[in-house]
Structure 1
Amino acid sequence: MPGPDSSELDAAVLDVLFTQAPWGLYVFDEDLRVVRYNPAARDVRGLRPEAVLGRRLGEFAEGFDDPDLAALARKVLAGATEVRDHLVRGRSPNDPGHEMTVSLSLFRIRLADGTVRGVAVVQNVTATRRATGRLDILHDAHRSIGTSLDVRATAEALADVVVSRFADTVTVDVLDDALRGTGPGRAPVRVDAPLRRVAFRSVAGAAGPVEPGGLSSFTFPTPFTQSLLDARPRLVAHLSGDEPWLSDDAADAHTLPVSGVHSLVVTPLTVRGTVLGVVGHYRHRNPEPYDDEDLALAVQLAQRTALSIDNCRSYARERTIATTLQRHLLPRTPPDLTAVETMPLHLPGTVGAGGDWYDVIPLSGARVALTVGDVTGSGIEAAAAMGQLRTALMALAVRDLAPEELLASLDEVAAALPHEPGEPLTASCLYAVFDPVTRTCTAADAGHPLPVAVTPDGEPVPFDVPVGPLLGTGSADYESASAVLPDGALLALFTDGLAAAPGGPAAAAQTLRRVLRHPGRTLQQLSDDAVYALMREQGEDDAVLLLARTHGLDEHHVAEWTLPDDPAVVPAARRLAERQLAAWGLDDLAFTTELVVSELVTNAIRYGTPPIKLRMIRDRVLSCEVSDGSSTAPHLRHAQEHDEGGRGLCIIAQLAKRWGTRFGRRGKTIWSEQELTGLEDDGLELTGPDNDGPERVEPVNGEPNDDRPDNDRPTNDGPDNDGPKNDRPKNEGSENEGPAAG
């Protein structure tokens, strides 16, 4: 069967295209006027032919009279180009109230008589473009919203995504409780609950009625309060202005932040049934009203934003807990000491609590320990680890360990603390001990910025402490260094948070030296000056600064004697203590002090090695110290009823506020402290013939004599009544309070 004639087939196809095709077909002449078109196309369906034929495209379809589009059509007629899928925005001829997007393709045809015509194929892609636009908005929202743990930054990211693309103006209001990290429960939000405006953005660039960061609440009832109450979105497609909820001027000003709003969408910010705030989308420049598809997009954007804000809230809550924990773990008020006047400063970081700490620890002999440290990391874990290390450091400090020995022990503690697998706990620490008698400061360093010291005149004091490895590495290789600090010298210890500026710790140390050159300023003023000079903004990491002004003890507060290695010197030692107490006006402590001195000197002579020294210090407590050349430490034991000795240290423990042993490079010192509470304080000014400084006691004919009557002596003169060593009961030896031979 022969096929149809090709001319007949072409005519049939053209007839179908120009009568039944769903897209627009337009044939135009050299003047760009339509000579034939497809009346079945959706956008011209129902138009009379005379409204289209003989007219240019822009004359019957608003928005298509673009000069650039006309120039492009003329190039097609001239055979210079072809146009495929060129997107044009305009308005539908039979529905001018709605904007549409069309895909335009232009082709050139030549008729048999040589006449040139153009063909325009128009396809309405409005729905497709809108869907693609919504997907693009969602894609950008997922990429930019939630990149910060700050609520304001999260809200502003939402505004950046939607303004000019989905909304002409957007407002984001978050409940003030949520901003502080607490947040409401699942119960409905009170309509008068305060909300803080965290974002406002408009294509008009104008400011809204509520300043960003300001507190306000929505007037009831409005779509906003309804959304807060039931956690459901609201769509107001057409806003005529006579709505009942707009009758109140205050409601109008709050809910319509700019004039000319004709359509709005309200979406609550909800996470797991909890309402955190509300978002308002407004259209006043874009004439298209919001529809149900726009509402669905707004809900998805709100869900993404609410989840990110909830993460911010959780982070803020954890930060609050960690900061509170850190604040409670740090010392409240430094102790009031004679040796140093201190001023600590702790500045929290913006990313949460860190592991910075400081401490001022009173030690024996009127000495004081100054320390700062920094646990690696931040958050609750770092704060808890800081508390553990600080507790361990205090326990080691009261043992009177040398700075390098203390850091070595603390390194073992840090290595033993639990930590996340693959993330060992490390910390830096600087530990310094100031002795007000010798005015010497000795320090050791575990990976920490070096201290800064200046004289009262502002001259720098060299204090190059060897920097050892961080705590927790298990290296335990630390060395100490010493510096002499005259009275009124300033010592500054700080953490990395204070040295975050360019140049690091070295530059921070130089700045601190310059700040500390003003001896007339108080420590509080100097501390503030250091912050002003070193920090232009609050850092991410927390920072600690510990300032100390040193004060030495003069000779009128210290008495020291070198004693012979002879048991017969014990009565003389008691007499020296009694005379010194009388000179200090502390006669009420004579009995207990003589007993303490007797026991300490007796033990040193029995179990220690020369030289033996007795030292008394009147500070805020009365200190009695006996040193010898042996490194063997005594231990307290409780004597049985049949034992003739072994009660010396028990007696000291009962009479003294505290006692202990500290070791030097050679030998040890056993010390005790007695309270001065209730005793007459004469300002530590000493008078009398025996107050000319430390006294050296030399034996007379080998044995100093005590010329007091026996009934004037303390009833308990020591474990063996100060008799010679060879008079000691045979059952004592190593079971007393030290080895049989020191």
Structure 2
Amino acid sequence: MREQRAPGLRFRGAGQVSEKRKRLLALAGDDLWGIELLRFAIQQAVAELAGLGGMVHLGSPGYGGGLRLAVTSGLPPALTQAWERVDGNGPLAPARAFRDGVFVQASLSNVDRGMPEPGGAANGRPDGRQDGARAGSWPAGTAMAAVPLLGPGGPVGTLSVVTLSTHRPSAGRRAFLDTLGRWAGERLGKSSTPDPALTEQQEQPTGSHLPQELQAVGTWDWDIRTGDISWNDAMPTVLGLDPDTVDGRIDTWMGTIHPEDLPWVLSDMDEAIYTGRMHSTEYRVCHPDGTTGWVRVRGRLVRDDHGEPARMIGTLWDVSRTHDVLDAITEPQARNAESSSAERASHIRRLAGALAEAVTVRDVVAASADHILPSFGASGLMLALLEGEHLRPVGSTGYPKEFVDRIAQMPVSWGFPITVVLRERTPMFISSSEEYVERYPATADIPAVGGKQAWAFLPLIASGRPVGSCVVGFTDPRQFTGVERNLLTTLSGLIAQAMERARLYDREHTRARELQRGLLPRELPRLPAVTAAARYLPAGKDMEVGGDWYDIIPLSADRVAIVIGDVMGHGVAEAVTMARLRTAVRTLADLELSPDELLSHLNDLVSELGDDFYATCLYLVYDATTRSCVLTRAGHPPPAVVRPDGTVLFPEADPNSPLGAAAPPFDTVEMELPEGSLLVLYTDGLVESSTMDIDQGMAQLARALRGTISGAPAGHREHAAEPDATGLDCLECLESLCDSITAALLPGRQGTADDDAALLVVRTHALPSDDMATWPLPEHPKAAGEAREHVRAQLSAWHLDDLSMTTELLASELVGNVVRHAKGPIHLRLLRTDVLTCEVSDGSLTTPRIRRAAETDEGGRGLQLVAAISRRWGTRYTATGKSIWTEQPLNPESPTLIPEQAGLDLYDLLDDE
């Protein structure tokens, strides 16, 4: 049957193939050495002769004329085991080729049958052993072709090929084998050739001990069981030793050089012995003359007839010239690479530490940018978190706003790299804008928008689920190495874990902050009696929210309650406790309780929360009609009082214990404040820290107040009772004062303080005497009529005639109730501020109550009338009794209710005269 050839294939002649192989040898050049060189030579020879496999034997007179097997290829150990040592004077093909320096071919049939070749002795085995053992049988009709490996000083070994034919190869093939033998022998007999581009100084490196033409390959044979080592004549030459001082045994060498001078024998061969793998390495050796050099060692394991490790055999040659050449070329690059690698490792270590310490998402972004960009020479970094079906950029550097906005508009379902890596959970590295456009033509404008030419798109995976993406951008095109890809992928995992922790912290912290700020006054009330400004400064980023709070509560008769407190500790529980206390203070203040009584109730409330809850509190009431101030504090720092002349003092009083640990009653302090005084209330976070005790802080606060006030312009107030040196008579001035105080007491500590700090600055105003009117009334039914007359006359003087009728009814009802149900002395007072206050005082502690009167009742509807026609009303207790008060707006938005409109009878309002 005729052979079918594939279309287009043509078979070339043997001569053409041989020429191709010769050119292949020239291309191989000096890149191959030692065992690799010999294996390559065997492969070429076997292919040229279409053989079964091949062997290389090395030898020299130092072996006593013998040859040692160095390398095999394509042949099983069962056949090559008997060829490990060949008698150099014997008739076998390798020995004849080595001895005569010519090509030799001989049949293997006689060797297999134990018969002598022509002209040879019948020894039964190539190694001359006559134990009758046979390693195996060669296939019938096989032959061995051997060619010498010719070095500069003569044969250094032989290359043998087992063929399937006993016919001599063609002249062209023999010529190729001769060329191959010389090519391999020359490279075994010399060190590496220096690069012709090197300078003259580089062409003469140190460490080569002999002229190039005399440098050779050493062969060695190490008996593992006895420790004996034998070698050829080239071994001392390679090691720079005098051949006359050694006799081919290790014990002689030991007297000449130290064991560490033979590391290729004494170490690193355990793996080759136990695994049977080829041993290949390079060592720096120290020569007796004080110089150093490099040798390359190749070796393989030889087993005995029982398969046990017996010997290591191999080659050794001087590669010092190669190392010197490479060092001259690569040393600067190696130093730069080593420096760059060390710098990158340092950045990565710092990044890992910074991510471990990062608390907020902003911290993670900053840490990533600070360490990743310089580590990889990047120019941009962006982190985006997955929220629903979109990615939300949370931080970027090196990217324009337009690029970040484009990312924010992209759903996760879009085919954009930053979303693709998130869906597939696999990093993506794009080396150029051209590659990007080719892969993602739909968003081809992105490279121009972002201003980058290469990108690493990294998914952020935490706890097995995607949390976001990271984009690292480069200004120029870049090929990412495997090391860089692995590092960036690993770092993305660290960033993802840190980002997940930071996001949870931010959520919790934001909720607590919103809770805390939502419970603090959004805006302090503007009252006639006081003008106030406040500051709340949270603790450092590593601290949770605290329980600092403050409030200003309007009371009756132009009185104001001012409170500030601090729940000990930090966290959501403390913020909730603060909210409960603030709510309780407002409720108790509406009951017009005295400061000490109010703190007693607060103490009970905190005690009921548990043993782990404590709070400090300062509560004071300022009365604009008398300019008096009553304060009580529970473990809280005292307020700073700034008088109009600029003096700063701290009221001396027992601070009492904190709420939750106090034992009522609470001590109180009463004082009179001149017009235009300042009250400065604060929490301990403002005046106390790890580096400053509270006494030092209060002294610093006093200095800050004096310094600020002394530089303020003189104030002007129309109704000032005393000269005002503070000049702080407007809200803007107080806001500026708050900023000055915090800057003076917290320099550089804002955002890094140990504790939250609250500051409340209040300027007090006295009610002018022209806006107050007071009359005593008799304890007689006619007192109601007198009250109406006083009201009518005073409102006419104040030009408030529109309120006259309603106010007369209120005063008449309140006085009538006192006459009927209480006792004297009776006083009527009118106050004009932003509201009109009508107040009746008596000497009774009985509290009036609204009751529902039946249709047949002749009375009992008075307080219903009071509640209906006034904006608000109430009762407060005084040192001599109580006061019942009502308030009416001076400019009501709706008409004042008259009794009939309120559904009330005029019976109780008729003149009692």
* TM-score range normalised by the length of the shorter chain: 0.5 to 0.7
Distance 1:223 1:607, change over 3 A: closer
Does 2:844 align with 1:626? no
Mapped to 2, the partners of 1:63 and 1:625 lie a distance apart of 103
Deviation at 1:662, TM superposition (A): 0.9
The aligned counterpart of 2:297 is 38
Contact 1:33 1:57 in 2 (8 A): no
Does 2:495 align with 1:305? yes
Distance 1:294 1:675, change over 3 A: closer
Contact 1:415 1:474 in 2 (8 A): no
Mapped to 2, the partners of 1:652 and 1:160 lie a distance apart of 70
The aligned counterpart of 2:887 is 673
Mapped to 1, the partners of 2:224 and 2:423 lie a distance apart of 71
The aligned counterpart of 2:668 is 480
The aligned counterpart of 1:55 is 320
Q: Helix, strand or coil for the counterpart of 2:658? A: coil
The aligned counterpart of 1:731 is none
2:526 to 306, 318, 336: 336
Q: Helix, strand or coil for the counterpart of 1:589? A: helix
Contact 2:280 2:298 in 1 (8 A): no
The aligned counterpart of 1:145 is 355
Deviations 1:603-644 (A, max 9, x none): 334443443322222222222222223333233322334444
2:733 to 498, 505, 525: 525
Mapped to 2, the partners of 1:400 and 1:386 lie a distance apart of 21
**Paired residues for 1:238-277 under 5 Å:** 243=435, 251=447, 266-271=457-462, 273-277=465-469
Does 2:678 align with 1:460? no
Deviation at 1:429, TM superposition (A): 2.7
The code of the aligned residue for 2:514 comes to T
Q: Helix, strand or coil for the counterpart of 2:493? A: helix
The aligned counterpart of 2:872 is 658
Identity of aligned residues (%): 33
Distance 1:655 1:210, change over 3 A: closer
Contact 2:815 2:840 in 1 (8 A): yes
Q: Helix, strand or coil for the counterpart of 1:432? A: strand
Deviation at 1:149, TM superposition (A): 0.9
Segment of structure 1 superposing worse, 607-616 or 215-224: 215-224
Contact 1:228 1:278 in 2 (8 A): no
Q: Helix, strand or coil for the counterpart of 1:267? A: strand
* Structure 1, unpaired ranges of 5+: 42-47, 67-88, 92-97, 101-129, 176-182, 199-208, 681-713, 724-742
1:596 to 794, 797, 810: 810
Contact 2:648 2:702 in 1 (8 A): no
The code of the aligned residue for 2:795 comes to L
Distance 1:251 1:65, change over 3 A: closer
Does 2:765 align with 1:551? yes
The code of the aligned residue for 2:324 comes to E
Mapped to 2, the partners of 1:354 and 1:99 lie a distance apart of 51
The aligned counterpart of 1:511 is 704
Mapped to 1, the partners of 2:777 and 2:436 lie a distance apart of 100
Deviations 1:80-128 (A, max 9, x none): xxxxxxxxx989xxxxxx999xxxxxxxxxxxxxxxxxxxxxxxxxxxx
The code of the aligned residue for 2:868 comes to Q
Mapped to 1, the partners of 2:420 and 2:620 lie a distance apart of 63
TM-score by length of 2: 0.54
Distance 1:210 1:650, change over 3 A: closer
Q: Helix, strand or coil for the counterpart of 1:373? A: strand
Deviation at 1:314, TM superposition (A): 2.9
Mapped to 1, the partners of 2:450 and 2:773 lie a distance apart of 79
Contact 1:344 1:545 in 2 (8 A): yes
Mapped to 1, the partners of 2:372 and 2:788 lie a distance apart of 88
Does 2:617 align with 1:429? yes
Contact 1:512 1:530 in 2 (8 A): no
Q: Helix, strand or coil for the counterpart of 2:581? A: helix
Mapped to 2, the partners of 1:297 and 1:54 lie a distance apart of 35
Contact 1:468 1:477 in 2 (8 A): no
Contact 1:343 1:547 in 2 (8 A): yes
Distance 1:167 1:569, change over 3 A: closer
Deviations 1:125-153 (A, max 9, x none): xxxxx9xx999999876655231213354
**Paired residues for 1:91-106 under 5 Å:** none
Contact 2:348 2:372 in 1 (8 A): no
* Structure 2, unpaired ranges of 5+: 1-221, 231-249, 251-264, 301-313, 713-725, 895-904
Q: Helix, strand or coil for the counterpart of 1:197? A: strand
Distance 1:10 1:409, change over 3 A: same
1:10 to 228, 235, 243: 228
Q: Helix, strand or coil for the counterpart of 1:433? A: strand
Q: Helix, strand or coil for the counterpart of 1:375? A: strand
Mapped to 2, the partners of 1:674 and 1:242 lie a distance apart of 78
The aligned counterpart of 2:851 is 637
Contact 2:553 2:561 in 1 (8 A): yes
Deviations 1:301-326 (A, max 9, x none): 31221121222223333333333344
Contact 1:210 1:216 in 2 (8 A): no
Deviation at 1:266, TM superposition (A): 4.4
**Paired residues for 1:230-379 under 5 Å:** 230-235=424-429, 243=435, 251=447, 266-271=457-462, 273-278=465-470, 280=472, 290-291=481-482, 295-347=485-537, 351=541, 354-378=546-570
Contact 2:835 2:889 in 1 (8 A): yes
Report the aligned-residue RMSD. 4.9
Deviation at 1:438, TM superposition (A): 0.6
Deviations 1:499-542 (A, max 9, x none): 46743344224313432443335332332243234323433555
Aligned pairs, how many?
587
Mapped to 2, the partners of 1:663 and 1:318 lie a distance apart of 45
Tell me which protein shows more helix as a share of its residues.
2
Contact 1:491 1:548 in 2 (8 A): yes
Contact 1:508 1:534 in 2 (8 A): no
Contact 1:33 1:53 in 2 (8 A): no
Does 2:642 align with 1:450? no
Mapped to 2, the partners of 1:196 and 1:7 lie a distance apart of 68
Mapped to 2, the partners of 1:141 and 1:335 lie a distance apart of 48
The aligned counterpart of 2:587 is 395
Structure number, greater radius of gyration: 2
The code of the aligned residue for 1:321 comes to R
Mapped to 2, the partners of 1:297 and 1:530 lie a distance apart of 50
TM-score by length of 1: 0.65
The code of the aligned residue for 1:520 comes to G
